[in-house]
Amino acid sequence: MIRSMLQMYLKNSVEAVEMYQKAFDAKVLNESKNDDGSYLHAELEAFGQVLAISEALDERKIGNTMQFCFHLGEGNEEVVKRAYDVLKDGAKIDFPLGPCFFSSCMFGVVDKFGVNWCIFV
C-alpha cells in the first residue's frame, strides 16, 4: 500500500480545510477547486496522515458510525488541547477534554461538518 487517506465529503469545504489546518497544524498537499471555489479535492497532511476533503454536492446524511481517531502519544497533550479548542466550535461534544480509562488527555466530538473525531495521547 502506498498510503491511506481519510476521505470526507462536506458542505462548506473551504471553511473545513481552514479549520482542519488550524486544529491539526495541517499542511495542504494538493488542491483542486470547483468553479464556485469549493474543493473538488484537497489533501491535507495531519500527523503523517492524509485528510482528503471534497465538497458534498448532494445532501448526505450527517453523522454515522465512522470515527476518525488520532492517537498522538504521551507528551502531546498541548496538541490535543489545541485541536479540541478549534474543533469544539459548533460541535456536538461526546466526550469533553479530559482523562478517560485509556488516556490521560482525550476528547470526542462530532464537528460542525458532521465528522466524528476521537483524539488522544
CATH number of this structure's domain 1-56, picked from the four choices 1.25.40.10, 3.20.20.70, 3.40.1360.10, 3.30.720.120: 3.30.720.120
Residues of the chain above pLDDT 70, percent: 94
Average pLDDT over residues 77-84: 98
CATH second-level architecture of 66-121?
Answer: 2-Layer Sandwich (3.30)
Q: Which residue has the higher pLDDT, 94 or 64?
A: 94
Whole-number pLDDT of residue 42: 98
Q: How far apart are the first and last CA of the chain?
A: 26
Alpha carbon of residue 104 to chain centroid: 21
CA dihedral 77, 78, 81, 83 (to 10 degrees): -110
- For residue 19, pLDDT beyond 70: yes
- Whether residue 121 contacts residue 75, with contact meaning beta carbons closer than 8 Å, is answered with yes
CA dihedral 21, 118, 63, 19 (to 10 degrees): -10
| pTM over cut 0.85 | yes
Query: pLDDT tens digits, residue range 29-77?
Result: 999 999 999 999 999 999 999 999 999 987 766 556 689 999 999 999 9
Ranges of CATH 3.30.720.110 domains, the chain = 66-121
Residue 117: enclosing H or E segment and its boundaries? strand 116-120
